[in-house]
Amino acid sequence: MLSVLVFSTLLWLSLILTLRFCLKLLLSYHRWMFEQHGHISTTTKVWVTLVRLLSGRKPLLYSYQTSLPCLPVPPIKDTLERYLESVRPLLSGPEFQRMTVLAAQFENSLGNRLQRYLKLKALWATNYVSDWWEEYIYLRGRGPIMVNSNYYGMDFLYVTPTPIQAARAGNTITALLLYRRKVNSEQLTPSRVPGTVIPLCAAQCERMFNTTRTPGEGTDVLQHWQDSEFVAVYHRGRYFRLWVYKAGRLLSPREIEYQIQRILDDPSPPGPGEDRLGALTAGDRVPWCAVRKQYFSSGVNKRSLDCIERAAFFVTLDDEEQGMMGEDPVGNLDRYAKSLLHGKCYDRWFDKSFSVVVYKNGKNGLNAEHSWADAPTVAHLWEFTLATDAFQLGYTEDGHCKGEVERSLPPPQRLTWDIPVEVQEQVSISLSVAQALADDVDCHVFPFRDFGKGRIKKLKISPDAFIQLALQLAYYRDRKTFCLTYEASMTRLFREGRTETVRSCSNEGCAFVKAVESGEGPEHCRRLFRLAAEKHQNLYRLAMTGSGIDRHLFCLYVVSKYLGVESPFLTEVLSEPWRLSTSQTPVQQLELFDMKNHPDFISLGGGFGPVADDGYGVSYIIVGEDMINYHVSCKHSFSETDSHRFGAQISRALLDLLSVLSPAKTENSQAQDKKQQ
């Protein structure tokens, strides 16, 4: 019996490992992504069938993690060729020749040596990019993370489910905790490439809750706790600990609303230095580290700071009203974005993995720290939260949360502090730094309603390629030149994958923009557009499948620093500014939203600050078939950028592209359109 037990156990383990290995081999196949839509090869069809068979019927959140392939290190020759191709439209003839010589010298000397070290790392590391990317791009930054790193997500555009602040907070907090329960029990459905069975890495979900970025002298540290039964709440300069569990039971939405209302009704004033304490997380990192080490490492300050840092997440009960409302809906929408991006610079805790903001009129939103995860992961959480709040939990007729209230609940615990004068002085310094940064940000949010994904797809064009080429046309009209353009692509087809850069400003795209601006014929422009769109799609596919440019060059640069050697080529490449930084916020859970019966429940998406002082940050979300929401940011301090002007250029470019690509209508088709209208 013992022999049978041992043999059956070993056989079972061998079978599991064999199945995982086979699935890993299958998921390493990426040729399917480069096949034309509607022309799928027999190999790919067989491959899809095998992936379905080995995937299981009801996989858990992390079921695919050990079966995902490792990110491959691309050949250095290929990376350099793609890099030179990407900068060709941006450089003059002599400049391009100089860069070509630098690249050749790098490849023939230092490059191959660095490549060998990088391949060694790839042999033992789960992902040769992600740990260095997290540390050197995010955690080692010594400047403010507010605006420069953190990003935001917005509420519904047209609808506010309830005007009662405490009720909205009750449902929002409940929905977030239900999502955490799904993550912890792995009941969340694994994310996949849209329209396919291909799984995506879920590693970023692990540090979504109970996580804080703590400041250090040379580098910050991400701290994660396994569980937390409370959230930290800020209201009018006071901090509270709100227990959301009682004897292992999650409080009902109505009970959480009751507790939030207690905080709102609390008349006690802030303690000395307490009201603006959050400014320490908005300013420079080194002073915050020094103050934290000296004044928050023991006693009452440590206990209160621990409550904030160990909380599931942070909640701000804002005393302002926000949203697209009033006599100036456009301006109010812009102010709503700025409020979520930086607030008053002291009423958010920017170090938390994410902070939820609930406004006086019931509008909400969130601000997320960037080092632990990228926007699609947070967007997935926020989609679930908005949908659960509005469609699952719901509200009573008078706008309150549903459920019963246990009146014996202990009140929220007010956090106490002992803030000496030295700390208050540093708070003032950090606040002045953060306030200058916040005042410099110019934000513009606008929904583009003339057409959307549905109209673009009828032209048999990728919506993302269409939008990116419109951005190129808009930037060229705005600044009379082209620039290095960053579009974020994911590498979550690989284990612990994060992002890769798509260099959207291509030779083909520039040729199309010049043809449009010089008044070339429609047929010629359409042909150039098709070439540019296909080029963009190919660049995106290469980035997703591990053959991008920038993460490889970044890692080679890190290796050179470890070895103590200098590379003029890598130094120049990594110092090039991204004057147009773009990102699409994908809608990942359409099944949660009933767009037919509830068309007003449209998400605004989210945005981020400009990456370059003289550039633009553009985020967009494709909502349904007929709308694209844009978030544009830049800096007032650079006189040649203006978010509203650039937003107008984007709208104009979208319409111009559609007119170029749409063949002239016959009288019959025009009559049919009028009849339909």
DSSP 92: -
DSSP 652: H
Locate 82 and state its tokens: 């793609």
Token reading at 371: 């080092």
Nearest to 204 by CA among 333, 335, 354, 29: 354
Name the CA dihedral angle for 487, 493, 496, 500, rounded to a multiple of 10 degrees: -20
Paired strand residues for 623: 627
Q: How far apart are the first and last CA of the chain?
A: 78
Calculate ∠ Cα 503-507-509, nearest 5°.
Answer: 80
CA distance linking residue 459 with residue 511, whole number of Å: 20
Helices assigned H by DSSP within 564-603: 568-574
What is the residue type of 468?
Q
d(CA 491, CA 548): 10
Q: How far is CA 633 from CA 150, 186, 655, in A?
A: 13, 37, 21
How are the residues of the chain apportioned to helix, strand and coil, as percentages rounded to the nearest 5? 50, 15, 35
Distance of CA 121 to the CA centre of its chain: 27
Residue 370 bears catalytic tag: yes
Rg, the chain, Cα only: 26
What would the two tokens of residue 539 be?
Answer: 């660049």
**33-64 core/surface letters (b: 16 or more CB in 10 A; e: else):** beeeeeeeeeeeeebbeebeeebeeeeebbbb
> Cα-flanking dihedrals φ and ψ of residue 367, to 5°?
-125, 125
Q: Evaluate whether 147 touches 441 at the Cβ level (below 8 Å).
A: yes
Neighbours of 181 (CB within 10 A): 12
Instruction: Please list, residue by residue across 483-515, b when 16 or more beta carbons sit within 10 angstroms of its beta carbon and e when fewer do.
Output: bbbbbbbbbbbbbbbbbbbbbbbbebbbbbbeb
Contacts of 412 (CB under 8 A, 6+ apart): 233, 240, 241, 242, 243, 259, 262, 263
Q: Measure Cα distances from 348 to 220, 335, 420, 442, 443 in Å.
A: 19, 16, 21, 20, 19
Question: Quick one: tokens of 180?
Answer: 């955490």
What residues contact residue 136 under an 8 Å CB cut-off, 6+ apart? 554, 558
Question: What is the C-alpha separation between 349 and 141, in angstroms, rounded?
Answer: 18
Q: Which two tokens stand for residue 383?
A: 């989609």
- The per-residue DSSP string of 361-430 comes to TS-EEEEE-SSS--HHHHHHHHHHHHHIIIIII-B-TTSPBPS---TTPPPPEEP-----HHHHHHHHHH
Nearest CA among 311, 284, 18 for reference residue 149:
284
DSSP conformational letter for 280: G
Q: Which single residue is written with the structure tokens 């008053």?
A: 344
Query: In the numeric block, which tokens belong to residue 223?
Result: 């701290």
Q: Name the 3-class secondary structure at 201.
A: coil
Strands 485-490 and 499-503: antiparallel
State the catalytic residue, choosing from 370, 444, 536, 552.
Answer: 370
Q: Which are the catalytic amino acids?
A: 370
